[in-house]
Amino acid sequence: MDNPSLHAERREHLAALVGDGIALLPAGVETPRNNDVEHPFRQDSAFHYLTGFDEPDAVMLLDPQAADEQYVLFVRPRDREKEIWTGLRTGTDGAKERYGADASYPIGEFDILLRQRLVGRRTVFLPFGNPGFHRRILQLVRGAAGLGVRYGRLVPTEFRDIGLLVGEMRLVKTPQEIDLLRAACEITAEAHAEAMRFARPGRYEYQVQAALEYVFRMRGARRDGYPSIVASGANACILHYTENDRLIADGDLVLIDAGAEYGYYSSDITRTFPAGGRFTAPQRALYDLVLEAQRGALALARPGGSLKEQQDVASRILAEGLVEIGLLPGPARDAMRMHHYREFFMHGTGHWLGIDVHDAGAYRIEGAPRPLEPGMAFTVEPGIYVDPDRETIQLAMLEFDIDERMERRMLLGPAKAREIEKKEREAAPKVVHPVPEEFRGIGIRIEDDVLVTGSGHEILTGGVPTDPDLVEDLCAEAPLLPFLEPLRPAATGG
């Protein structure tokens, strides 16, 4: 499934951006789960993107101006005794033969060989999000600094973030990447459909999760794109709920946010459906509103559009609807300008999608929303979440620009920015508004994966319905998978 020539093309692209600098990128590392047990290893996304090499404890070196050995992999050496216990290693020979490295050395020789490579290079590209690796390279640069002071040799004086370069490369997908992403989406849609058939009152959330992830594996997705969220009842009001341990009750909605990873590319689907097969009137009212917001955002998914305008239209539709059904006081114009809708819709409408479920790439260019281009992939996922325990909400009658607030948080830091925001809210007039009881504890999100095309967009996850009538029909179907009764009561704490 991996394509060595594709990784080589990416490295050539990166080499052109690096120019006369040198690029360094570490692989992922294994992390302990508990005594003598490791978490399943998954390669760092950028490292896989550039190399295809899927073992831990490695480093990629890209030195475009070198006379030879421009692409070097430092890897774990072959070790028969360790391989008996933990599996085969590629080794230095395999790194050259299978992964196209010009040269490969044992990882233990990295520091010595890199010190030599640093001489004659002004700029080092490395990941800023890896402080341990950054400190290690800085120490090596300091060690070489004497050559510059004493002998006038050129040594690095500039560090740049390789993640920004690779992130931009990853943003527009190639046809091969689109094929992998489409496969992940098709598998995920099929799994969600089976989970909607399988879920019903009296089953645990984790049992529904098992049915969902069974389809992932049987259809060829070896990993989940992220921990599956199966949230019933009020659990759906927790955005990143992952305990998945509640017994589903009659009358519950079930929110499933889950995606299969196929060939390192992840899908990201959310569906919300009635465990008992039929929406109640309050559930249907909120569901219809979220679906309207999603459809409004999807209508703007086209070349030249932006995620920002999708966020704006979804927020406007939700604000107007929340006023109309009584969750917010009017007028709707105030609910938008004062961002009161964020009491019930507190996240973004979408994010980039690819090797990471929240994929790399800038959302703005010189402060302006980034125009969409064919080949970009992203999610569209509005929602409404009504806290089960809030009988009233207190709203500050304060207009503000949400982008200015976010920029202030980045400039001042979250703690200082929130302190200022708190003072602004305290100084503003307040309105206390009741939360209708029939809506409390309802959480709904509808999320699809979208690919920008030359003429508009393609919904990659249309294989599982969002229309509420079709959702109810699917819930009424018999599951394809059998239900196995637990041998004993469910254990706690696990």
Catalytic residues: 36, 240, 257, 268, 347, 351, 358, 381, 385, 445, 447
Write the DSSP symbol of residue 152.
-
- For residue 119, the SS3 value is coil
| Separation between Cα atoms, residue 180 and residue 5, nearest integer Å | 16
- What's the gap between Cα 158 and its chain centre? 30
Q: Per the omega criterion (within 30 degrees of 0), is the bond before 175 cis?
A: no
Token pair of 489, please?
């009561």
| Separation between Cα atoms, residue 469 and residue 474, nearest integer Å | 9
The string of DSSP codes covering 13-52 is HHHHHHTTSEEEEE-----EEETTEEPPP---HHHHHHH-
- What's the gap between Cα 42 and its chain centre? 15
First to last CA, the chain: 35
Smallest CA-to-CA distance from 23 within 232, 165, 155 is with 165
* Cα–Cα separations (whole angstroms), residue 287 to 236, 388, 402: 13, 17, 26
- What's the gap between Cα 66 and its chain centre? 36
| Separation between Cα atoms, residue 87 and residue 16, nearest integer Å | 36
The string of DSSP codes covering 97-112 is HHH--SEEEEGGGHHH
Write the DSSP symbol of residue 327.
S
Neighbours of 29 (CB within 10 A): 12
| Separation between Cα atoms, residue 338 and residue 206, nearest integer Å | 39
Give residues with Cβ within 8 angstroms of 102, minimum separation 6: 68, 69, 70, 71, 72, 96
Give residues with Cβ within 8 angstroms of 317, minimum separation 6: 289, 292, 293, 296
Token pair of 355, please?
């090797």
